[in-house]
Chain A
């Protein structure tokens, strides 16, 4: 029973991550209609905002280790610690949450530049051309990061207060072994916050309503004299922020490297399509569904019954859902069906 509970928690956590990663894609892909293969690259860039902020905060005074002569080895002490003492240490330890704040404007800027500079010319081009140009862009962005940061993963730590494991079992009076990493709980919480603010923006504000109207019938909204183009730019910017935050906050769990985006690209497309094209709610539901089932599929006894099931579970569910529900969980009619 406890193991099921833990796997459920795993599934929720994983699902929250999937939902967050897919949310940005579904804004661009399901609603603007752009097959954005650079979506993974945005996720990766978000993660590297965290790496860059950490590197900036830990610019260090270097003291040469004289015992080594063949090359220069240093002991490093960050200037922040020298100048600010314990406060400096504290700031460095909190670099991931700080970089999440930094990531919002940075990712907005990246999103706007990407949309104005490239994507806007491709709204009316074919999907094939969108794939080619965004895939090219994803490769270029990855290679640029590789030139600056190398190809190895770079570890990022969560703040010490949040980096251990929470003794949930003991707190709730259940099994002692029921523990869960604090940072994953934080990620879960952030994911809920971000997803609900995007929903609130689109469903509750007038601005968001016009955007949604524009997605449904772009020409009509244009005829009403509203500059829908500018609003689409804003949507792209929001998508970039959401995706970037997903990447940035994920760094303590997954040390980032330059091609991490490619690994998440396929996953996010599967989540979005299983959720149904053009449906934000569908993407979120699909994220949780896939996350939870993936966690259960990894359990020993399940694997004993169906060997290798955890290898293919995501794709298997995708096939089953797409065959039983023609437009995924909550897809809108006529979006990317042709």
Chain B
């Protein structure tokens, strides 16, 4: 698998030289992978793909959507990655490097090597994302790929990274499949998933809306939508709710009127909008216009629930989000040491607070760096073994566990509500409850999958 060698440094070096601008650091990169491994710091001197060897820099690959509907989210992820690189190299105020527990990071790069990075555009398409990841691995010699803003992309890039023997630290991906059916030994997800969203929302919805409710679901008609639908149904039906109908809607619908009009007639009093990004912006905006938010059905106020919230959605839907429940992985207004440190560095650098996508990407980068530093090698199997079962805190979510069996991180989940009375342009969501880890935990074999081998 790895016998194709690595001709990559050469081309990259030439590429930059044509611009007459090879810096010392980047120039050194041209040795990556092909350099003879003379002095190797670690005890496991196996050769592996993109071994940084004696090079004094190490390259990470940031693969985010830069065009298409999630371009803004990708941009925020990239900001977080750049900040993480800065902090790892000992520049800036250090951010979460100061709050992470336990940590082996010293702010002098990773294993003494200065951290460098390359970027790519996933276009939120599996093919483009894999092409971009392959470029990073084959040409730029990265030791780790991270990023992504949708589950389709995360699952396919994760599978690629497993084949190529390069670690993948997933960005924003919410489907159960990423660490369920499609889990991989080389892939790790810090973000939460559909199952956890449902488990966290359940008790809050019960508290706010009672046990005698009839729900109607509009579901994005693809894998992610179905997995959220399944999880939400399980949780709500267990607490006594009845699902009147779950109607599947085509991806990329701009006008939802034909799906929204039957809701009122159905006798349902709760509407779940299981859409992401632009689709959710449209469906929520239009649901509110159909008067659903102000309606009274069965003598109860009609409620709308959005299982997964993100900044794209909250900004795009504007006033429509007020009072609408949903879940997120993290929110900048959290009052804990890690979050405050991160919001401070990010805010001072860019002038506004980070999104949850930025947070998870920043944390993933630090977690990888720490794993390498602690394992004492870039050799992927050792890094993976360190991350499996790794427990840490001070990264904004409280106590967190990277479960060894499926590489899913477990930590408290936030249930949030659209702010009725925003105090500033960033004050869109208010945290209703931090649901503790025990309540959202599930057995690893609930979604059976096969991690695959350490050595590829």
Contacts and interface: CB of A to CB of B under 8 A. Distances in A.
Q: Do A and B come from one complex?
A: yes
Contacts of A257: 69, 278, 316
B286 interface: yes
A179 B291 contact: yes
A186 to B, nearest CB: 11
Contacts of A183: 289
Contacts of A76: 425
B316 A254 contact: no
B351 interface: yes
Interface stretch (A64-72, A111-119, A226-234, A269-277): A64-72
Contacts of B281: 153, 155, 255
Contacts of A181: 286, 289-291
A297 B259 CA distance: 10
Nearest to B319: A157
12 contacts: A13-B257, A146-B71, A152-B312, A155-B281, A155-B315, A155-B320, A180-B290, A181-B290, A253-B289, A255-B282, A303-B248, A311-B221
**The 4 residue pairs across chains A and B that have the minimum distance between CB atoms:** A155-B318, A71-B347, A165-B291, A70-B347
A155 B255 contact: no
Interface of A: 2-3, 6-7, 9-11, 13-14, 17, 65, 68-76, 146, 150-158, 163-165, 175, 177, 179-181, 183-184, 252-255, 257, 259-260, 263-264, 294-300, 303, 308, 310-311
Given A7-B261, A70-B348, A17 B255 contact: yes
Nearest to A11: B258
B289 A252 contact: yes
Contact of B316 (A9, A72, A155): A155
B225 to A, nearest CB: 13
A155 B317 contact: yes
B425 A3 contact: no
Max chain A C-beta neighbours (<10 A), residue from B248, B255, B347, B423: B255
B340 to A, nearest CB: 8
Q: Is the interface of B mostly helix, strand, loop or mixed?
A: helix
Given A75-B423, A153-B281, A155-B318, A70 B346 contact: yes
Contact of B69 (A9, A155, A259): A259
A260 B255 CA distance: 12
Contact of A300 (B247, B352, B424): B247
Interface string B305-322: 000000110011111100
A73 B425 contact: yes
A164 to B, nearest CB: 6
Contacts of B255: 14, 17, 253-254
Interface string B257-298: 111011011000000000000100110011001110010000
Nearest to B350: A71
A11 B347 CA distance: 47
For the side of the interface on B, what is the size category?
35 or more
Contacts of B317: 155, 255
Nearest to B250: A311
B353 interface: yes
B363 to A, nearest CB: 18
B297 to A, nearest CB: 9
B268 to A, nearest CB: 11
Nearest to B333: A68
A11 B285 CA distance: 19
A164 B282 contact: no
A254 B285 contact: yes
Interface string B405-433: 00000000000000000011111000000
Contact of A184 (B278, B289, B340): B289
Interface in B37-61: none
Contacts of A9: 261
Nearest to A182: B289
Contacts of A150: 72
Interface string B70-90: 111001000000000000000
A163 B290 CA distance: 9
B265 A2 contact: yes
Given A179-B290, A179-B291, A253-B286, A153 B258 contact: no
